[in-house]
């Protein structure tokens, strides 16, 4: 392809993949759902010269993909188009596509050439800027849990675990860390790993989790928060598409089964300076027994202080809050500790030079860009203000009622609206949009009468 408007790396990619016929332009909306357009590869030039036009409201849709009618976007402002440009360093082949195709992340700009306020990737860029000013780079690793489900619902309309291939039976559990589970689902898991390798997604550890049919795959840490979150959303896309080939559904719902473990998104964060040194590493600390810098404790203090207002990001929908149960390995308060899975903020056992904080409240259903932006806002707030994290938790954090966080959707939305730190991080316009979207979705959800209401009340009251 000789179009001069196409950057050299893109021309090189297309030359090395001469069979590619289509280019899928991906836009993660505020719920983390990938939307966009598919272009014929012959039209790739405009993606880098003039941009692909698409409504700005594409980023602002609710979880059903419709406009939030309580907000002044979509039909209420004429639903204007804006230009989307391709991020050339994200161009990758799509190994599961029936038609030879490639994918690329897009970024939107408004008519004045400024980054579009509703793009969550831009929100993350804003959250990283204060660290750049400090000469620090956040290093991020994401862990995602998910279920493999049957492609068909049960007779009662509820999901079922995917049957073990060739055995015609469904797994029983929980059987945490059972190696046989990895073998039983080996074909789909190996194809997921192969797809990640083709797409440059740094997946490195696969685990059978604490429920039948539930797995966790870890992404390797990278010193680029935007790339880490791109990896996370593209990783989810790869898992879903490979599972579909195997007649399964990969679900990242926070709590698909009431009697089984929920699925979380655990984010590991450290900070490195211009020389590549982890600034969380320091001198021996009597409280933790680790060699840590005071910045790590201050970061934890900031995360604890901002956790309430950030819960609407970490737990974005009604189902998200069903995950937070005592003794469920999902946190229910702001406790912190070392090598302790009952807390929200954990310093894992690691090599002394790999000291980091593991953030555990977010569900696998959350938007990675907004989750990491909120985490970085809390860390920066803590370091800048030298916030004391309070006493460490050495036992079972579920037994400590103090330091609770909003564990119901309405309470978390209220805390988000009242918060100021995230508002400052990504700007008033996006903050108001996120609050309005959460309120809209909560109202729509509340308006639906579930079967449980009939079971409880129809004949009794």
Torsion of CA 287, 289, 292, 294, to 10 degrees: 10
| pLDDT, tens digit (0-9, with 9 covering 90-100), for 50-60 | 899 999 999 99
Domain boundary among the residues 116, 148, 170 is at 116
DSSP reduced 3-state for 153 = coil
Q: In total, how many domains does the chain have?
A: 2
Q: How confident is the model at residue 428 (pLDDT cuts 50, 70, 90)?
A: very high
- Find out whether the peptide bond into 174 is cis, omega within 30 degrees of 0: yes
Helices 368-385 & 294-314 angle (0-180, nearest 10): 140
Can you give the CATH number for the domain in which 100 is found?
3.10.20.70
Mean of per-residue pLDDT scores for the chain: 92
Domain boundary among the residues 116, 142, 164 is at 116
Do 153 and 37 share a structural domain? no
Is 122 part of any domain?
A: no
> Which pLDDT score is estimated for 100?
95
Quote the tokens at residue 378: 């809390």
> Which pLDDT score is estimated for 210?
67
Is 3 part of any domain?
A: no
Contacts of 185 (CB under 8 A, 6+ apart): 148, 162, 164, 165, 215
Provide the b/e sequence for 181-201 (b: ≥16 CB within 10 Å): beebbeebbebbbebbeebeb
> Which pLDDT score is estimated for 154?
84
Reference 102, options 148, 30, 36; nearest CA is 36
> Which pLDDT score is estimated for 178?
64
Is 2 part of any domain?
A: no
Do 149 and 91 share a structural domain? no
Is 461 part of any domain?
A: no
Distance of CA 158 to the CA centre of its chain: 25
Strand ranges inside 56-100, DSSP E: 81-86, 92-93
Is 349 part of any domain?
A: yes
DSSP reduced 3-state for 344 = coil
Distance CA 219, CA 201 (A): 8
Q: How confident is the model at residue 179 (pLDDT cuts 50, 70, 90)?
A: low
Do 410 and 290 share a structural domain? yes
Distance CA 253, CA 102 (A): 27
Domain boundary among the residues 90, 116, 142 is at 116
Can you give the CATH number for the domain in which 331 is found?
3.30.590.10
**How far is the CA of 416 from the CAs of 255, 267, 401, 406, in angstroms?**
22, 20, 22, 10
Greatest Cα pair distance, the chain, in angstroms, is 74
Helices (runs of H) and strands (runs of E) counted in the chain: 12, 16
Mean pLDDT across 212-224:
90
Is 459 part of any domain?
A: no
Enter the DSSP assignment of 322: G
* pLDDT at residue 1 greater than cutoff 70: no
Do 106 and 132 share a structural domain? no
Do 74 and 135 share a structural domain? no
Is 238 part of any domain?
A: yes
What percent of the chain is predicted at pLDDT more than 70? Answer: 96
> Which pLDDT score is estimated for 403?
76
Do 106 and 182 share a structural domain? no
> Which pLDDT score is estimated for 305?
97
Mean pLDDT across 243-248:
93
Mean pLDDT across 12-41:
94
Q: Tokens 């945490």 map to which residue? A: 176
> Residue 348 — φ and ψ, nearest 5°?
-70, 155
| pLDDT, tens digit (0-9, with 9 covering 90-100), for 135-171 | 999 999 999 999 999 988 888 888 888 888 766 777 7
Contacts of 365 (CB under 8 A, 6+ apart): 32, 252, 253, 254, 263, 316, 317, 319, 320
Query: Cβ of 372: how many Cβ atoms within 10 Å?
Result: 30
* pLDDT at residue 351 greater than cutoff 90: no
* pLDDT at residue 2 greater than cutoff 70: no
DSSP reduced 3-state for 318 = helix
Do 46 and 169 share a structural domain? no
**Count of residues for the chain?**
461
| pLDDT, tens digit (0-9, with 9 covering 90-100), for 277-294 | 999 999 999 999 999 999
Mean pLDDT across 250-260:
93
Let me know: does 20 contact 42? Beta carbons within 8 Å.
no
Query: Is the dihedral angle over the CA atoms 61, 62, 65, 67 positive or is it negative?
Result: negative
Judged by average pLDDT, the poorest of 356-370, 390-404, 412-426 is: 390-404
| pLDDT, tens digit (0-9, with 9 covering 90-100), for 55-78 | 999 999 999 999 999 988 877 788
* pLDDT at residue 192 greater than cutoff 90: yes
DSSP reduced 3-state for 40 = strand
Judged by average pLDDT, the poorest of 182-191, 226-235, 319-328 is: 182-191
Do 278 and 424 share a structural domain? yes
Is 337 part of any domain?
A: yes
Let me know: does 27 contact 35? Beta carbons within 8 Å.
yes
DSSP reduced 3-state for 23 = strand
Let me know: does 55 contact 79? Beta carbons within 8 Å.
yes
* pLDDT at residue 227 greater than cutoff 70: yes
- Find out whether the peptide bond into 441 is cis, omega within 30 degrees of 0: no
> Residue 444 — φ and ψ, nearest 5°?
-65, -40
Distance CA 371, CA 361 (A): 10
Do 357 and 255 share a structural domain? yes
> Which pLDDT score is estimated for 180?
67
> Which pLDDT score is estimated for 175?
64
Contacts of 237 (CB under 8 A, 6+ apart): 26, 34
> Which pLDDT score is estimated for 329?
83
> Which pLDDT score is estimated for 158?
85
Do 146 and 24 share a structural domain? no
* pLDDT at residue 401 greater than cutoff 80: no
Mean pLDDT across 382-409:
90
Reference 356, options 269, 281, 298, 266; nearest CA is 269
Domain assignment of residue 385, given as a range? 127-452
> Which pLDDT score is estimated for 176?
61
Q: How confident is the model at residue 206 (pLDDT cuts 50, 70, 90)?
A: confident
Distance CA 245, CA 95 (A): 12
Do 436 and 344 share a structural domain? yes
Do 43 and 135 share a structural domain? no
Quote the tokens at residue 396: 């079972």
């Amino acid at each position: 392809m000789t179009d001069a408007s196409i950057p050299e790396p893109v021309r090189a990619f297309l030359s090395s993949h001469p069979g590619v016929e289509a280019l899928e332009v991906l836009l993660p909306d505020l719920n983390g759902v990938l939307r966009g357009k598919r272009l014929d590869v012959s039209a790739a030039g405009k993606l880098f010269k003039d941009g692909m036009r698409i409504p700005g409201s594409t980023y602002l849709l609710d979880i059903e993909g419709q406009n939030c009618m309580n907000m002044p976007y979509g039909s209420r402002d004429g639903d204007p188009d804006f230009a989307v440009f391709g991020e050339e360093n994200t161009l990758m082949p799509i190994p599961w596509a029936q038609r030879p195709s490639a994918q690329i992340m897009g970024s939107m700009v408004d008519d004045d050439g400024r980054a579009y306020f509703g793009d969550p990737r831009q929100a993350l860029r804003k959250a990283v800027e204060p660290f750049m000013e400090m000469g620090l780079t956040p290093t991020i690793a994401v862990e995602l849990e998910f279920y493999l489900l049957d492609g068909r619902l049960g007779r009662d309309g509820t999901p079922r675990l995917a049957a073990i291939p060739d055995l015609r039976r469904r797994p029983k559990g929980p059987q945490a860390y059972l190696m046989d589970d990895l073998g039983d689902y080996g074909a789909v898991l190996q194809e997921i790993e192969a797809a990640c390798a083709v797409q440059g997604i740094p997946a490195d550890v696969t685990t059978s989790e604490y429920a039948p049919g539930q797995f966790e795959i870890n992404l390797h840490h990278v010193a680029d928060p935007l790339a880490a979150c791109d990896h996370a959303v593209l990783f989810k896309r790869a898992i879903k598409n490979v599972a579909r080939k195997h007649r399964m559904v990969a679900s990242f719902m926070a709590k698909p089964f009431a009697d089984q473990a929920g699925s979380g998104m655990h984010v590991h964060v450290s900070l490195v300076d211009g020389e590549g040194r982890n600034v969380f590493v320091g001198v021996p600390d009597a409280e933790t027994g680790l060699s840590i810098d005071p910045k790590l404790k201050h970061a934890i203090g900031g995360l604890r202080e901002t956790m309430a207002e950030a819960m609407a990001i970490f737990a974005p929908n009604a189902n998200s809050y069903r995950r937070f149960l005592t003794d469920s390995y999902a946190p229910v308060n702001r406790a912190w500790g070392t090598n302790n899975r009952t807390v929200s903020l954990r310093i894992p056992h690691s090599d002394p030079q790999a000291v980091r904080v593991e953030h555990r409240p977010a569900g696998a259903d959350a938007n990675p860009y907004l989750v990491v932006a909120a985490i970085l806002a809390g860390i920066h707030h803590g370091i800048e203000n030298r916030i004391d994290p309070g006493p460490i938790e050495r036992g079972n954090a579920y037994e400590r009622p103090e330091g609770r966080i909003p564990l119901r959707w309405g309470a978390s939305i209220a805390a988000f609206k009242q918060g100021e730190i995230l508002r400052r991080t990504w700007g008033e316009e996006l903050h108001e949009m996120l609050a309005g979207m959460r309120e809209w979705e909560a109202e729509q959800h509340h308006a639906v009468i579930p079967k449980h209401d009939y079971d409880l009340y129809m004949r009794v009251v």
